[in-house]
Amino acid sequence: MITQDAFPVEDWFVRETRLDRALLGSAESIFALSNGHLGLRGNLDEGEPHGLPGTYLNGFYEERPLPYAEAGYGYPELGQTVVNVTNGKLVRLLVDDEPFDVRYGQLLAHERVLDLRAGTLTRTADWISPAGRRVRIRSRRLVSFVQRAVAAVEFTVEPVDGPARLTLQSELVANEPMPQRDDDPRVSAALDSPLVSLEHSSSQHGATLMHRTRRSGLGMAVAMHNDVEAPGRVEVETTTGEDWARTTAVSELEPGQQLRLVKHLGYGWSALRSQPALRDQVAGAISGARFTGFEGLLREQREYLDEFWRAADVLVEGDPEIQQAVRFALFHVLQAGARAEQRGIPAKGLTGPGYDGHIFWDTEAYVLPVLTYTAPEAAADALRWRWTTLDRARRRAGELGLRGAAFPWRTIAGDESSGYWPAGTAAFHVNADIAAAVERYRVVTGDASLEADGGGEVLVETARLWMSLGHHDARGRWHLTGVTGPDEYSALVDDNVFTNLAAAHNLVAAAEAVTRHPDLARATGADLEEAATWRDAARDVHVPYDDDLRVHPQDSQFTSHPEWDFAAHPDYPLLLNAPYVELYRRQVVKQADAEFAVFWFGQRFTAQEKARIVDYYEPRTVRDSSLSAAVQAVVTAEVGHLELAHDYAYEAASVDLRDLHRNTGDGLHIASLAGTWIALVNGFGGLRECDGALSFDPALPQGLTRLRFSVRWHGAAVHVDVRHDRVEYQLADDAAGEVVLRHAGEELTLRPGGAATRRLQPRKPLLATPRQPPGRAPVHRGQGH
């Protein structure tokens, strides 16, 4: 676990107080900068040492064959893997003739600071070279939220104890050697020099490199321009090769004098545009950045984030670690999607190559709910990207012998990239998750344009998928068989409760969309008769219930399976220590599944049923996925186990800042970061959308004294301030009209600038606090000390 002495707890900063080379990989992910289009891992300016170098463009990938011991009909043939594109972060320093390298000489001080309000990464270092020459170094780095294609680096160095010849080498490097990180040699082969040079050019102060991928045929360009300042004489020159470009600046300075370099970077890629068009695109980006200037870019960045935090900030009193973590989480969730602009949001954002850079159901189930309430334009863009892949989803459904559209379990460009059929193809709930995100956007924002621009078509085609998967039995009940729910330790099951309820929600949403939009009905051929069959299936959906245990089984057979022998399998994660054939036939849960159904479809369960679901599944849920803790926080809070929920919230918040899963070096867990907000706002704030209305039912654990947050509802900011004994709801002064919300079932009307306060009663659980599997109690808050 990363401890607080390495990364202290501060409200608005993540600060690394010393350079610990054992934590390089994790720090590179934590300090990554992105805007949803371009991502830079937080590598040291000089590039070495590193955990994993990384520069990423959203949607830019290479193809590779998927391995199968035995082929089968409908198996996806090609995988997609994110490419580490041309590295523009590099600024190397030579002091006299010795390179600045933290592994040599003496590092007197070293600090890096991620400023969550400024959107910058700052580094300072005080170093003595092996020859005894001391210098002070400072760099600032940003990826612009305002100018989508632009990143910039400011690098200054000054001698301390005597004159020194200082040489800065500002570089672009393509096809960087990468550490082998995957047991599958096909991945390493695909990523071994994946970029083919198209052209390279230079001027005195900058250069442009253009490449394309070998197999997927995607083209990319990167340009840099370097402005150099120093008192006295400075020599500047630029040279290039196919995979590199270098601007070198040399100056001789006295103590206290500074050599300053400002590096502007422009990135672009396309599957369609010509080389000249791409070249012009990045040249234009550089021109715009230079016109703005580095200080101007900093101002734009701060103004953009000021606007975001005004409506999105979450104030937590009583738990400083969660306070830091939720702001860190919101910052990275914003970075993952802010300027994706009709690209998907990968599970790792653009912070690392984990999961091959793939997009999963995590995006719609965890990330987009947060963005819908805090940055709705970004949520809409991500959903419009799903619509652009609809033809691929239709084709995939046809390959599976189904109607409608089958969206992929994991993908970059929209094609299924999972070779593991049970957890991939059979996890059809991804389609309902996407539909739920489309419907949530409409309900929360009041904006019908997404539905008209393709969201409605997504609802129709996913509804058709469910109708071709489901069937009515002789008793009139509608079933879904042979599916995999959120719990990947149960595969190819019948009537998974979450999937059935999610499908029913999808079917109703599609029917209502067709009714609202006659144009949609005509364009898709979905008449009212077809919509009526969707409503019938949703009405008749079977939700299994075990009368003997008085609990909903996760699927129709789950509670009849043998129990898992925890004593015989003490090591986690279970998927690396036990065969799947055993996991599939036992009562053991990888991640919240039935509890997820309670969270999303709570109106379908009574308070007693919710309490029994928590009581039954908590001892069987091992949380071998970072997706689980946030959902468990929400549901345990709802049924009154507030202290347990606080621990789950802390675990969700700490996954990356404390590297709980020992894999933060591969990239951040963007869904778990979003889950921090979900645990606090949906959990302790009690936020739900109920029958199209904004609803709250808050309660705080003893460890929190105050929770204040804001959500956007139909374009207006609603501020919620929760304390142990009361809650205040306030509508922003600039709201266009009144907002009707529910507090614990009571309807309240807020007018612009108006507020309403309600008293809170202690929340008492119906059942005793449940236990967890051996060794799997949530990480208790404060263990990062």
Alpha helices, DSSP H only, in 31-86?
Answer: none
692, 443 in Cβ contact below 8 A? yes
**Residue 185 confidence class, pLDDT cut points 50, 70, 90:** very low
Three-state DSSP class for residue 339: coil
Tokens representing 88 are: 């523009």
42, 16 in Cβ contact below 8 A? no
360, 698 in Cβ contact below 8 A? no
Lowest mean pLDDT of 31-40, 56-65, 190-199, name the range.
190-199
282, 149 in Cβ contact below 8 A? yes
Q: How many CA atoms lie within 13 A of 7 on its CB side?
A: 26
Predicted confidence (pLDDT) at residue 41 exceeds the cutoff of 60: yes
Three-state DSSP class for residue 144: coil
Axis-axis angle for helices 628-638, 607-617 (nearest 10): 140
289, 147 in Cβ contact below 8 A? yes
Q: pLDDT tens, 305-364?
A: 999 999 999 999 999 999 999 999 999 999 999 999 889 999 999 999 999 999 999 999
Closest CA to 37 of 116, 149, 152: 149
Closest CA to 653 of 753, 783, 487, 484: 783
Give the span between the Cα atoms of 711 and 494, in whole angstroms.
Answer: 37
| Per-residue pLDDT at 179 | 81
Three-state DSSP class for residue 300: helix
Tokens representing 559 are: 């509670």
Taking residues 622-639, report their average pLDDT: 98
Give the span between the Cα atoms of 33 and 41, in whole angstroms.
Answer: 6
Closest CA to 49 of 12, 22, 11: 22
Lowest mean pLDDT of 25-29, 51-55, 180-184, 207-211, name the range.
180-184
Q: To which residue do tokens 């046809």 refer?
A: 398
Lowest mean pLDDT of 130-134, 176-180, 672-676, name the range.
176-180
Give the span between the Cα atoms of 682 and 637, in whole angstroms.
Answer: 9
Tokens representing 737 are: 């009209």
Conformation bin of residue 779: beta by default, left when phi > 0, alpha when psi is -120 to 50: beta
**Residue 424 confidence class, pLDDT cut points 50, 70, 90:** confident
List of residues 6+ apart from 307 with CB closer than 8 A: none
- Angle 127-128-133 from CA coordinates, rounded to 5°: 125
Tokens representing 317 are: 């009193």
Task: Tell me phi and psi for residue 438, to 5 degrees.
Answer: -60, -45
| Per-residue pLDDT at 74 | 87
Q: To which residue do tokens 């089984």 refer?
A: 553
| Per-residue pLDDT at 691 | 86
Give the span between the Cα atoms of 785 and 705, in whole angstroms.
Answer: 21
Predicted confidence (pLDDT) at residue 186 exceeds the cutoff of 80: no
Q: Which helix H or strand E contains 224, and what residues bound it?
A: strand 219-229
Task: Tell me phi and psi for residue 270, to 5 degrees.
Answer: -165, 150
Q: To which residue do tokens 């955990």 refer?
A: 51
Strand pairing of 739-743 and 746-750?
antiparallel
Predicted confidence (pLDDT) at residue 188 exceeds the cutoff of 80: no
Dihedral angle over CA of 463, 465, 469, 475, nearest 10: 20
429, 501 in Cβ contact below 8 A? no
| Per-residue pLDDT at 71 | 79
Lowest mean pLDDT of 85-89, 183-187, 297-301, 425-429, name the range.
183-187
Q: Which helix H or strand E contains 616, and what residues bound it?
A: helix 607-617
Q: pLDDT tens, 149-161?
A: 999 999 999 999 9
How many other CB atoms sit within 10 Å of the CB of residue 582? 16
Catalytic residue selected from 154, 488, 618, 638: 488
Please say if 488 is a catalytic residue: yes
Q: Which residues pair with 251 in a beta bridge?
A: 166, 234
Q: pLDDT tens, 673-688?
A: 999 999 999 999 999 9
List of residues 6+ apart from 530 with CB closer than 8 A: 514
| Per-residue pLDDT at 190 | 55
**Length of the chain, in residues:** 785
